[in-house]
Structure 1
Amino acid sequence: MKAVCFAMLALLTGSLQAAEDTRQLVSLPAAAEANLRAEMCANLLALNEILELVAAGKLAEAGEVAAKQMGLGAMGKYRSEPLAARPGPHLPAAMHAIGMDGHRAADEFARIAASGDRERTVAALPSLTVACVACHHAYRIR
């Protein structure tokens, strides 16, 4: 069964790669692109840590990671760098708004997780990736 799933995934991936990418290309200065990619990788690491913590029943800790690594407080990492290294000012307004929604969602997840209610916390997990999916679905930088 696993082999069939992997084969289907390989076929799907191949056909998706062959299809034209209709996402909006966003051109960024090289330094801003590198910082944006680093931030997205850091978000993936944070998401993985959050999932591990929720699975282990450490809800408050999961919320702390969400707030610290992905919430509104995580913004401004590149504020002291030159304009060409800061992703935010180079993003289309709608793309920037999606990013802001993601930061707010992380803070809301943190609030829910801090309550200790496992059911509500698990139900809130998808809110951490909605903005990611929306942005990656609509935009590309390469």
Structure 2
Amino acid sequence: MKAPLFCSLALLTATVHAADGDDTRQLASLPAAAESTLRAEMRANLLALNEILGLVSTGKFKEAGQIAEQELGVSAMGKHRSLPFEARPGPHMPPAMHSIGMDGHRAASEFARIAASGDRDKTIAALPSLTSGCVACHYVYRLR
């Protein structure tokens, strides 16, 4: 099954289950401050993804790669280190959830590397890698 189709089906399935009240995703209990930090980060990630898609759609692959690395890639890891422990999401996540996040950062860096080449076809083919970790995490875990 191709990644975009899987992503679409996973999101649809998660939406249907949530609407039915049969949300079987694992609850990831985080302290309120860490949950707030994580939610703000996820909103910022959506903005970055939107910017990346816009840049790719206009052929600005290298710029898309720069945003991917700065905002989503390995370079973006550890941005919450200066926050109080209770406000840092990572240490409070289930280990598998944290691992999905780390894999997402690495995937974004790999996308950035591919985009930096300027190769249109390879960059477009790598786009699903930017959201596959998001889909996996949101499909398996919930905060509430």
| Alpha carbons 2:17, 2:23 under 8 Å: kept | no
* Aligned amino acid, residue 49 of structure 1: E
Q: Which residue of 1 aligns with 2:86?
A: 84
Q: Secondary structure at the match of 1:129?
A: helix
> What whole-Å deviation, never above 9, does each CA across 1:52-82 have from its counterpart, x for those lacking one?
0000100000000000000011011110111
* 2: CA distance, partners of 1:89 / 1:15: 28
Unaligned runs of 5+ in 1: 1-12
Percent sequence identity over aligned pairs = 69
* Aligned amino acid, residue 75 of structure 1: M
Which residue among 114, 117, 126 is the counterpart of 1:115?
117
* Aligned amino acid, residue 129 of structure 1: T
* Aligned amino acid, residue 132 of structure 1: C
Could you list the structure 1 runs, at least 4 aligned residues long, displaced by more than 4 angstroms after superposition.
13-16
So what's the TM-score if we normalise by structure 1? Answer: 0.89
Q: Which residue of 1 aligns with 2:36?
A: 34
Which residue among 38, 47, 51 is the counterpart of 1:45?
47
Higher Cα Rg: structure 1 or 2?
1
So what's the TM-score if we normalise by structure 2? Answer: 0.87
* 2: CA distance, partners of 1:75 / 1:33: 17
* 1: CA distance, partners of 2:55 / 2:33: 33
Q: Which residue of 1 aligns with 2:57?
A: 55
* 1: CA distance, partners of 2:44 / 2:59: 23
Unaligned runs of 5+ in 2: 1-14
- Over the aligned positions, Cα root-mean-square deviation in angstroms equals 1.5
Q: Which residue of 2 aligns with 1:134?
A: 136
> What whole-Å deviation, never above 9, does each CA across 1:70-126 have from its counterpart, x for those lacking one?
001101111011110000000011000000010000000000000000000000000
Q: 1:15 to 1:63 in 2, by over 3 A?
A: closer
